[in-house]
Amino acid sequence: PQLPAEGGATLPTATTEAPASIAWQRFFADARLRQLIELSLANNRDLRVAVLNIEQARAQYRITRADRLPTVSAAVTG
């Protein structure tokens, strides 16, 4: 729920949720501010590079983990 504030703005009411657990889209009530945040996230090259680095590290981890598994081989003669 929103509470009316001075000047016609609305303020979010108190909640028991920890601020870190609230999605930023819900945390910021102003639509224009949300649009600006979305635009900055979409065009943040550093953030995109970081995401790609994380994906690369995860892929390398899966390869390394798969190398630890036993291999099975079979041959058919006849």
Residue 26 predicted with pLDDT over 60: yes
Residue 32 predicted with pLDDT over 90: yes
Residue 30 predicted with pLDDT over 80: yes
Assess contact for 29 and 12: CB atoms under 8 A. yes
Q: How far apart are CA 39 and CA 33, in angstroms?
A: 10
Q: How far apart are CA 69 and CA 51, in angstroms?
A: 28
Residue 62 predicted with pLDDT over 90: yes
Q: Which two tokens stand for residue 14?
A: 């108190």
Q: Which amino acid is present at 23?
A: A
DSSP reduced 3-state for 35? helix
User: pTM of the predicted model, to two decimals?
Assistant: 0.39
